[in-house]
Structure 1
Amino acid sequence: MDYFGLNREQNFFEKLKQGLGEYKKQGLSVKFYDKDLFKPDDYHKHDIVIYKWNNALAVIEFKKHSQRTIFDPFNFSLDNESALARFEIVVTPNDTVFVNDKYKKNEDFNELSFDQLIQTIANPDPIKFGELEKLKIKNVFLELQEELFSDNIVLRRFINQKEFTDCLSLKDNSFSCYFEDSRTGISEFENQFFIALLGKFEDNQICRYTTINTIFSMLNYMSFRMNGLVGMNDKSEVNYVDTYLKGFEKPLIDEHHSRISALNRRYITSCTSIKKKDDLTMWRLYADDSQGVCLTFSVNTKKTNDHVLIQKVRYADKNGKHPELEYLLAVQNRISNALGFSFQFRKLGIWKHFFKAYEYEIEDEVRLMVIDDDKIPKIKTDWVLTFTHTILNPIIDFQLNSSVFPIQLKEIMLGPKCPEQEINKVQLEEMLRQKRKHIRENNKDSSKSKIDSKLDKINIELSSIKHYR
């Protein structure tokens, strides 16, 4: 049985492999069904993707119905991710091949013979990418900044600098333009673009609400624990921006293992702005119904980089819209319409973790994110079972108040309903004295590894809220 044309599609795949075989040195390869390019609810399992090195060059769909003898382009659509491929190819039930070269914006799908298809894929018309195209791209960024963020003077200045066009790049084997420069870390051009778009984080203090058990463990083990992104309280958070931009959610079970590994190297600590310090609503929601603590940290942004970020979370408006994400979408659409090729934000995979739904706006969250690359000394990594959702999740422990870490614990405030509030204040102060003494004695002993933790300026305070019991 030729189930949904599977045999026909398999035969076409083999024919393509043979036809493109002589072009292997040009980086051409063919894969039968690449689910990473399609929606979870739209897996065709018979589609073919042609690659130029590691970039999708063409996507192929087989029509399964024959109501029309001629291909109707309005019945053919691919998701946003496949827009990175230059060619859209459709094979009808009678094996007629239609090809759309998206770079030729004003042309429709053309019917080609198989030999013509091979030649079109192997020898596509070169893409023009010079100063004129770069200027058009810059103008798209500027026009949309004026339309959507007219009050963001920092973003306008950033786009207007000469370096903007100098950092635009389009490789011969790619159908997408992107930012590229020789710098690394947070100073890399695209990271600076996102900072200009989202706003530079300049607060010198943040606070975090948590349980008294957490602060006890932090001081007892001299550690600062961060939790893996996958096990956050909002389970939709992992794919929130991807879902927003593409219009569908791709379950983790459908992800490639390399993406799962990458996600599990991303660790999050959720804090809030200092103006939320000693706030009854925050005590009730995030500190064990006011029985916990509010920790105040000083912030040193000079210790951040593209693997250690502190940024305020951006929330959607009441209608579920993010102006910043709408800006990115509009940039991609206008560049595609104007120039034929796509634009790719390659650092979005990092910055997308600073967006959340409107319902969480009350948190006023400031997020510390660490992507573990072994550059920051850590005490350990391990796995735990989360309490809220019973999800297996990685954790990472850093030295508390280490000189290389961007936040330093400066104050512990005991909540309005904290058990034995005054006694625990005294005991915390005594615990800190003994810990400081232990650090001094340990660091005098040359045979021991030094403890890089400064605990000499941590104050213990009580909440000023007296009427919540």
Structure 2
Amino acid sequence: MSIIIPDTEDIEKLQKRFSEALGDEYQVEMYTEVSSSFFFSKKNVFDLVIFRNNIPFVGIEYKGFARSIHIGLKPEWFYSKFQEVNLRYGIYYFGKENQFYLWTKGEYRFQVFDFASIINAIKQDVPVGERLCVDELAVEILGCLPDSIDEVELHNNLDKLFVEGNIIFNDSTGDIEFKRNIEDSFFKALLPQMNVSKVCRYTSLNNLFLLLEGRHHCLCSLTCMNDIGETSYADNWLGYGAYAETYTTIKDNNNSYILSCCASNKIDDLTMWRLYGQNAMGTCLVYDVKEEFIDNDSFFFAPISYGQSENKHEELDFIRKILRWKKNGWKFKFNRWHIWKHFFKSYLFKDEQEIRLLYIRSEKSDIERKWIMDSSNSIASSLCLFEIGNSNFPLSLSSAIIGPKCPQQASNIAQFNYMNVQQEVFPFKRWNKAITASKINDYR
């Protein structure tokens, strides 16, 4: 494909177009040299230069069609010419495509603009063009949904979020954002949909003992999960990288605590006993969900989204496409990603069907925290301890089941029930009915 080289007449037409659109406040000159301010050591000539208050403001290069292919691959080859002479903006115009590629000082990439938006960006001195109306924005963002996601209900639930009042446009940065509660609704819509009033959690027999002895709900930080990619899976999928050793990420992970549960249909389930209940020697704790205390401020509660395969996670692909979307300099930004990224996991763990309680501990929190050396993974980890009587905790213990392979099962059940009478952890009508035996009898 041949390169289209503009002649003087082409550049004169573009000069006239800019001059008429910008008005008298700006001067548009052809074949003008611009010098860097550092002792005029660097000089570059541009096809057009836009002056504001007699100061070079925008450099414009009129290029052929073929070179536009490379501007996204090697943007530094193109913006360096503007950067060297300290221009505020630089524009490459590809005539046959009628596309304007705008570079802004301090940036390392170009954004594609139409002519009206490029004029608006120059006049407003902001790197964005005209705003999209909310309906147009909805079409653009929902257009990022992978073709394999054809759920009408999901599409409708997302579409309902795009109304005036839910969207924030930041003219100074070019960011489009949801309001905080709307962003939470966006991420929840991408997770499995279910009404949950009761959940269960499989754990070791020793953890049941510690629960009764200490009278605390114990939430472990993200750092000692059995999935070694737990803290970085979603970030890696989007291309953010794991940032595993940065202080900020380590701090965030040690202030993010989870209680891994599953739906009530998994209560006393043999597969769950084998995988998560100490090979059927542990316990299954049963909780009632108190929805009124799931505030999406400190506590977040939702089912986990698992990938469809090792190389496929449709919901994360959708989020990634949104973050790569740009229109007239506008781009979408998620402010709550640092929270909701913890509700996406590898397909390798899909059998667990986790429903997760996530607690984000603030610096002002008075909830007790302690450190342990995790016995399963040999990782130093912090724990958050919520007193059983803490009325704001969104899960309420209702009962416990002792695994079918528990040593001295009958004696342990009696002892734990008596202990519960003293400690008042589980509710009971009869002293020996709060903690019971598994109904599975044929597993050894």
TM-score under structure 1 length normalisation: 0.67
Sort the Cα spacing of 1:109 and 1:279 in 2 relative to 1 into closer, same or farther, 3 A.
same
**Letter matched to residue 139 of structure 2:** N
Sort the Cα spacing of 1:110 and 1:430 in 2 relative to 1 into closer, same or farther, 3 A.
closer
Corresponding position of 1:234: 227
Corresponding position of 1:446: none
CA deviations over 1:148-197 (Å, ceiling 9, x no partner): 54324255145236x623222222321221113xxx6xxx1211222233
Q: Distance in 2 between matches of 1:340 and 1:121?
A: 12
**Letter matched to residue 315 of structure 1:** Y
Q: Which consecutive residues of structure 1, in runs of 5 or more, have no partner in the other structure?
A: 1-12, 17-70, 79-87, 113-119, 437-452
Is the radius of gyration larger for structure 1 or structure 2?
A: 2
Q: Distance in 1 between matches of 2:336 and 2:193?
A: 16
Matched ranges for 1:164-313 at <5 A: 164-180=163-179, 188-246=181-239, 249-253=241-245, 255=246, 257-306=247-296, 307-313=298-304
**Letter matched to residue 317 of structure 2:** E
Q: Distance in 2 between matches of 1:230 and 1:77?
A: 38
Return the offset for 1:274. Answer: 1.6
2:379 aligned with 1:391: yes
**Pairing partner for 2:330 from 341, 352, 355:** 341
Sort the Cα spacing of 1:158 and 1:245 in 2 relative to 1 into closer, same or farther, 3 A.
closer
Sort the Cα spacing of 1:390 and 1:176 in 2 relative to 1 into closer, same or farther, 3 A.
same
Corresponding position of 1:465: 440
* Contact 1:90 1:97 (C-alpha < 8 Å) held by counterparts: no
Q: Distance in 2 between matches of 1:300 and 1:291?
A: 29
Return the offset for 1:309. Answer: 1.1
Q: Distance in 2 between matches of 1:467 and 1:395?
A: 36
SS in 1 for 2:436: strand
**Pairing partner for 1:371 from 360, 368, 377:** 360
Q: Distance in 2 between matches of 1:400 and 1:313?
A: 26
2:318 aligned with 1:327: yes
**Letter matched to residue 151 of structure 1:** E
Return the offset for 1:110. Answer: 7.9
Identity among equivalent pairs (%): 26
SS in 2 for 1:177: strand
Corresponding position of 1:135: 135
SS in 1 for 2:217: strand
Q: Please, which moves more after superposition, 278-287 or 217-226?
A: 278-287
CA deviations over 1:232-281 (Å, ceiling 9, x no partner): 111211111110011x633422x2x3333222110011112222221222
Sort the Cα spacing of 1:168 and 1:289 in 2 relative to 1 into closer, same or farther, 3 A.
same
Corresponding position of 2:340: 351
Matched ranges for 1:14-33 at <5 A: none
**Letter matched to residue 342 of structure 2:** H
Q: Which consecutive residues of structure 2, in runs of 5 or more, have no partner in the other structure?
A: 1-35, 40-68, 106-120
CA deviations over 1:324-351 (Å, ceiling 9, x no partner): 2122223334x41x43321112112111
CA deviations over 1:399-454 (Å, ceiling 9, x no partner): 12532111111111110111111111111111111223xxxxxxxxxxxxxxxx67
* Contact 1:148 1:327 (C-alpha < 8 Å) held by counterparts: no
Return the offset for 1:204. Answer: 0.8
Corresponding position of 1:5: none
Q: Distance in 2 between matches of 1:395 and 1:127?
A: 45
Sort the Cα spacing of 1:206 and 1:125 in 2 relative to 1 into closer, same or farther, 3 A.
closer
**Letter matched to residue 291 of structure 2:** T
**Letter matched to residue 150 of structure 1:** D
**Letter matched to residue 245 of structure 1:** L
Higher helix fraction: Structure 1 or Structure 2? 1
Q: Distance in 2 between matches of 1:111 and 1:174?
A: 11
**Letter matched to residue 461 of structure 1:** T
Sort the Cα spacing of 1:100 and 1:203 in 2 relative to 1 into closer, same or farther, 3 A.
farther
* Contact 1:376 1:404 (C-alpha < 8 Å) held by counterparts: no
Return the offset for 1:215. Answer: 0.6
SS in 2 for 1:235: coil
Q: Distance in 2 between matches of 1:111 and 1:327?
A: 27
Q: Distance in 2 between matches of 1:14 and 1:455?
A: 77
The CA RMSD over aligned residues, in Å, is 3.7
SS in 1 for 2:278: coil
CA deviations over 1:332-374 (Å, ceiling 9, x no partner): 34x41x4332111211211110111111011111111100127
CA deviations over 1:368-410 (Å, ceiling 9, x no partner): 11001278763x2022222233222211100125321111111
Q: Distance in 2 between matches of 1:96 and 1:342?
A: 27
* Contact 1:228 1:394 (C-alpha < 8 Å) held by counterparts: yes
Return the offset for 1:463. Answer: 0.9
Sort the Cα spacing of 1:178 and 1:218 in 2 relative to 1 into closer, same or farther, 3 A.
same
Q: Distance in 2 between matches of 1:316 and 1:235?
A: 16
Q: Distance in 1 between matches of 2:38 and 2:169?
A: 31
Matched ranges for 1:144-159 at <5 A: 144=144, 147=147, 149-153=149-153, 155-159=155-159
Return the offset for 1:201. Answer: 4.8
Q: Distance in 2 between matches of 1:463 and 1:281?
A: 13
2:395 aligned with 1:400: no
**Letter matched to residue 406 of structure 2:** C
TM-score under structure 2 length normalisation: 0.70
Q: How many matched pairs?
A: 357
Higher strand fraction: Structure 1 or Structure 2? 2
* Contact 1:229 1:263 (C-alpha < 8 Å) held by counterparts: yes
